[in-house]
Amino acid sequence: MKLSKSEEELMNIIWKKEKAFMKDLLEAYPEPKPKSTTIATMLKRMTDKGFVGYKLYGNSRQYHALIEKSAYFSKHVNGLIKNFFNDSASQFASFFTKETNLSQKELKELKKIIDDQIKDA
């Protein structure tokens, strides 16, 4: 299951705050802030999708993430590799390094990360 762009924006706020009431979520948005009904609708959809849970405190709900940010991101990167790069991580890496205008320093950092992963395998 996937989040819409606006749901991802809200999810990023929840990940950052870890636990938040509606007022906390609204305060985290820049101006112009969305209406509370818009946030409530997104939270309902995200709860139904299994991304967000909540704990009741009287009539108030304190929301929290049910999926870690790294797990969400990993799933989408893997889907991207599968759907756009013939399930080839090397094709993805080639595209990524050529099309993102990485500096020599950044490329060397990536190489070190890969070399470390090979060493640990």
pLDDT digits (tens, 9 = 90+) for 6-21: 999 999 999 999 999 9
Reported pTM: 0.74
Distance CA 65, CA 76 (A): 17
Contacts from 42-47 at CB under 8 Å and sequence distance 24+? 42/6, 42/7, 42/10, 43/10, 45/7, 46/3, 46/7, 46/10, 46/11
Per-residue pLDDT of 24-71, as tens digits, reads 999 999 999 999 999 999 999 999 999 999 999 999 999 999 999 998
